[in-house]
């Protein structure tokens, strides 16, 4: 509650609080292990959401995604006033990268695992994001859905090469089978390719922010995702559960771990 004082007249004005509705869901799909880790937290008009998709065989992926989520969540939680949020996100990405790089197995050997990360911080109606890898952040406003970050995979490299004339269309087509290979992730030890918006995105009432691992968008098209979210109105938890359920429903086999964090801002 905010108040204003005037001489000896106490005037208390009650502002409608900004609200953020949050929903999270994470499924194993048809895989043996859950290598995704997620986190979402709302405090007044501020929020954080994180989705990490780990890889590395046996327990490696799980350990990596866990470590990254914990690292960022603890840092956000522990700070009273972050200040420069993009700078904070960049530093935390580098810190998490180091942590994952140095993870060890029971024998004390390097775990050699990695993880993607998508994270958003909402503060005072401003949206900041971080992405390393091929998990995605979608913004939904009205009837429009938009993925805000580039996927850090081989396709990115191929597109650049095609554009600059280093490869032909035929060569591009030949390479497409490998296009999904990740080229940036936490755990490299020297991660440099990451998406962070320097300028905050100004949120409007009823904007929806959706974070997901690739399991979601490999099963559902953007229009399908938009439709499902809209059908759930203001119930973000329902939206999250519906999304993962439908992603699984799309495939009889071969459904990857799928995780989503979805939040809607409600401003008066």
Residues that bind other proteins (CB under 8 A): 55-58, 60-61, 101, 110, 112-114, 152, 154, 156-157, 160-162, 164-168, 171, 174-175, 178, 181-184, 187-190, 192-193
User: Given the complex with other proteins, which of 178 and 198 has the nearer CB atom?
Assistant: 178
Retrieve residue 167's tokens.
Answer: 């490869």
In whole angstroms, how close is the CB of 52 to other proteins at the nearest point?
A: 15
User: Given the complex with other proteins, which of 136 and 152 has the nearer CB atom?
Assistant: 152
The pairing of beta strand 195-196 with beta strand 144-147: unpaired
Closest CA to 267 of 109, 127, 82: 127
User: Given the complex with other proteins, which of 103 and 239 has the nearer CB atom?
Assistant: 103
In whole angstroms, how close is the CB of 32 to other proteins at the nearest point?
A: 12
In whole angstroms, how close is the CB of 203 to other proteins at the nearest point?
A: 30
Distance CA(112)–CA(60), nearest Å, equals: 7
In whole angstroms, how close is the CB of 60 to other proteins at the nearest point?
A: 5
User: Given the complex with other proteins, which of 115 and 241 has the nearer CB atom?
Assistant: 115
Helices (H), 187-221: 214-217
Backbone angles phi, psi at 263, to 5 degrees: -140, 145
User: Given the complex with other proteins, which of 18 and 256 has the nearer CB atom?
Assistant: 256
In whole angstroms, how close is the CB of 72 to other proteins at the nearest point?
A: 21
In whole angstroms, how close is the CB of 36 to other proteins at the nearest point?
A: 15
Task: Give the chain's largest Cα–Cα span.
Answer: 79
Are the beta carbons of 187 and 114 closer than 8 angstroms?
yes
In whole angstroms, how close is the CB of 181 to other proteins at the nearest point?
A: 3
Question: Residue 104: exposed, middle, or buried by beta-carbon count in 10 A (0-12, 13-18, 19+)?
Answer: exposed
């Amino acid at each position: 509650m905010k108040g204003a004082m005037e001489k000896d007249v106490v005037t208390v004005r009650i502002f409608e609080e900004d609200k953020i509705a949050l929903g999270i869901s994470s499924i194993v799909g048809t895989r043996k292990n859950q290598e995704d880790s997620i986190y979402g937290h709302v405090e007044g008009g501020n929020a954080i959401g994180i989705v990490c998709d780990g890889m590395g065989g046996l327990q490696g992926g799980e350990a990596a995604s866990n470590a990254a989520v914990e690292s960022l969540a603890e840092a956000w939680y522990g700070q009273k006033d972050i200040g420069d949020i993009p700078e904070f996100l960049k530093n935390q990405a580098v810190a998490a990268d180091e942590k994952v790089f140095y993870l060890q197995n029971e024998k004390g050997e390097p775990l050699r695992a990695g993880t993607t990360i998508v994270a958003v911080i909402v503060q005072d109606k401003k949206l900041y994001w971080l992405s390393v890898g091929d998990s995605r952040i979608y913004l939904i406003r009205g009837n429009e859905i938009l993925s805000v970050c580039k996927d850090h995979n081989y396709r990115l490299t191929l597109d650049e090469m095609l554009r600059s004339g280093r490869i032909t269309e035929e060569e591009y087509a030949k390479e497409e089978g490998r296009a999904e290979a990740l080229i940036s992730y936490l755990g490299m030890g020297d991660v440099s390719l990451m998406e962070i918006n320097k300028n905050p995105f100004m949120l409007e009432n009823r904007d929806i922010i959706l974070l997901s691992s690739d399991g979601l968008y490999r099963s559902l098209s953007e229009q399908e995702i938009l439709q499902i979210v809209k059908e759930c109105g203001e119930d973000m938890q329902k939206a999250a559960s519906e999304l993962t359920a439908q992603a699984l429903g799309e495939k009889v086999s071969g459904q990857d771990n799928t995780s989503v964090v979805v939040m809607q801002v409600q401003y008066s």
